[in-house]
């Protein structure tokens, strides 16, 4: 795993958006896996900015979101579709038919989930998956004890996740208790994974993901099985890593190698 420790969320968003824009320049029909929540907002505003100054074209890009709340209509202000439209899609020129969310409406959700997986495969798989991490270590809505081989399906949210997200709701009763989410197995098939985590609330989850044993109890730890994962952390979320000084030194040495190569 590549662990990049930065001073703040802005620096992380600079690095992650730069990686996405560089990939898009190389592959205009990029397939992106996208996340919701507070964490990716900085990346999304930078992508919009790059598009609006004419640096990049998103017309051939395909997107697959990680998760969505069960039974919320797409125009519901708490739905992740609504969030994504507001924070990203309304500022880009992605064709609506190339935007995908896990199924949360209508009959036969298991069948629809299978078709979501098949659609990802038909598009050639996800090139870059953007991730946040929950304070309980979840990735997507793969809550603790999710199978490390899980696929897209409906999950019940833990009390901790409901509490963490209750800041968006007026009362607990109106908060959806279930969501559709890509599985951990689905996420691990992305070609490249970029995870951001900010704030002291994420420090235990980050430590478990990077330095803990691989365990379904800390779903982020499954990322240790993936060959191309980068974590972009601020100093607070990185503060419980025991090899923090080492990760900083690795980054300095990587920078040395980049400069050495460009001579
Ligand atoms: P956050 O959520 O970005 O709002 O912190 C991340 C997550 O729960 O995966």
pLDDT in tens, 149-206: 999 999 999 999 999 988 877 765 578 999 999 999 999 999 999 999 999 999 999 9
138 is catalytic: yes
pLDDT in tens, 46-98: 999 999 999 899 999 999 999 999 999 989 999 999 999 999 999 999 999 99
pLDDT in tens, 3-26: 999 999 999 999 999 999 999 999
159's CB contacts (< 8 A; 6+ apart) are none
Question: Does the CB atom of residue 253 touch ligand 1 within 6 A?
Answer: no
Distance 164 CA to ligand 1 centre (A): 9
Question: Does the CB atom of residue 65 touch ligand 1 within 6 A?
Answer: no
SS3 191: coil
pLDDT value of position 171: 63
7 is catalytic: no
Helix and strand element counts for the chain (H, E): 8, 10
93 is catalytic: no
SS3 34: strand
Which amino acid residue places its CA nearest to atom 4 of ligand 1?
Answer: 37
Hey, what are 222's tokens?
Answer: 């499954």
In the chain, what is the greatest distance between 2 CA atoms, to the nearest angstrom?
61
139's CB contacts (< 8 A; 6+ apart) are 66, 131, 132, 133, 184, 187, 195, 219, 220, 222, 223
Which amino acid residue places its CA nearest to atom 7 of ligand 1?
Answer: 134
DSSP conformation class of 146: -
Question: Does the CB atom of residue 39 touch ligand 1 within 6 A?
Answer: yes
Question: Does the CB atom of residue 38 touch ligand 1 within 6 A?
Answer: yes
Active-site residue, selected from the candidate residues 68, 117, 127, 143: 143
Distance 174 CA to ligand 1 centre (A): 19
Q: Are strands 99-100 and 62-65 parallel, antiparallel or unpaired?
A: parallel
Find, among 101, 106, 179, the residue nearest to 146 by Cα. 179
Active-site residue, selected from the candidate residues 51, 65, 67, 127: 67
226 is catalytic: no
Q: Which atom of ligand 1 is nearest to the CA of 198?
A: 5
pTM for the model stands at: 0.96
pLDDT value of position 14: 98
What span, in angstroms and rounded, lies between the C-alpha atoms of 209 and 205?
A: 6
What span, in angstroms and rounded, lies between the C-alpha atoms of 156 and 42?
A: 28
pLDDT in tens, 83-140: 999 999 999 999 999 999 999 999 999 999 999 999 999 999 999 999 999 999 999 9
Are the beta carbons of 238 and 3 closer than 8 angstroms? Answer: yes
Hey, what are 158's tokens?
Answer: 């833990």
Active-site residue, selected from the candidate residues 65, 136, 142, 234: 136
Which amino acid residue places its CA nearest to atom 8 of ligand 1?
Answer: 134
Q: Are strands 153-156 and 229-233 parallel, antiparallel or unpaired?
A: unpaired
DSSP conformation class of 215: B
Question: Does the CB atom of residue 140 touch ligand 1 within 6 A?
Answer: no
Distance 39 CA to ligand 1 centre (A): 6
Q: Which atom of ligand 1 is nearest to the CA of 133?
A: 9
SS3 249: helix
DSSP conformation class of 89: G
């Amino acid at each position: 795993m590549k662990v990049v420790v930065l001073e703040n969320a802005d620096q992380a968003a600079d690095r992650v958006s730069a990686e996405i824009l560089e990939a898009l320049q190389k592959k205009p029909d990029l397939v992106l896996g996208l996340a919701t929540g507070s964490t990716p907002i900085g990346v999304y505003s930078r992508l919009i900015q790059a598009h609006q100054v004419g640096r990049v074209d998103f017309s051939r890009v395909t997107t697959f979101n990680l998760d969505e709340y069960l039974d919320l209509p797409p125009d519901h202000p708490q739905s992740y579709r609504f969030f994504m439209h507001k924070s990203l899609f309304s500022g880009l020129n992605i064709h609506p038919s190339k935007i995908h969310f896990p199924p949360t409406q209508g009959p036969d959700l298991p069948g629809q989930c299978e078709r979501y997986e098949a659609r990802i495969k038909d598009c050639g798989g996800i090139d870059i998956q953007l991730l946040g991490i929950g304070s309980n270590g979840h990735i997507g809505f793969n809550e603790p004890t999710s199978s490390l081989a899980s696929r897209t399906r409906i999950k019940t949210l833990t009390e901790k996740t409901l509490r963490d997200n209750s800041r968006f709701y007026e009362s607990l009763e109106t908060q959806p208790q279930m969501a559709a989410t890509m599985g951990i197995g689905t996420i691990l098939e992305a070609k490249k994974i970029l995870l951001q985590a900010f704030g002291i609330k994420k420090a235990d989850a980050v430590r478990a993901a990077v330095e803990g044993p691989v365990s379904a109890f800390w779903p982020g730890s499954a990322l240790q099985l993936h060959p191309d994962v980068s974590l972009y952390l601020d100093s607070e979320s990185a503060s419980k890593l025991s090899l923090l000084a080492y990760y900083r030194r690795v980054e300095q040495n990587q920078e040395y190698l980049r400069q050495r190569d460009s001579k």
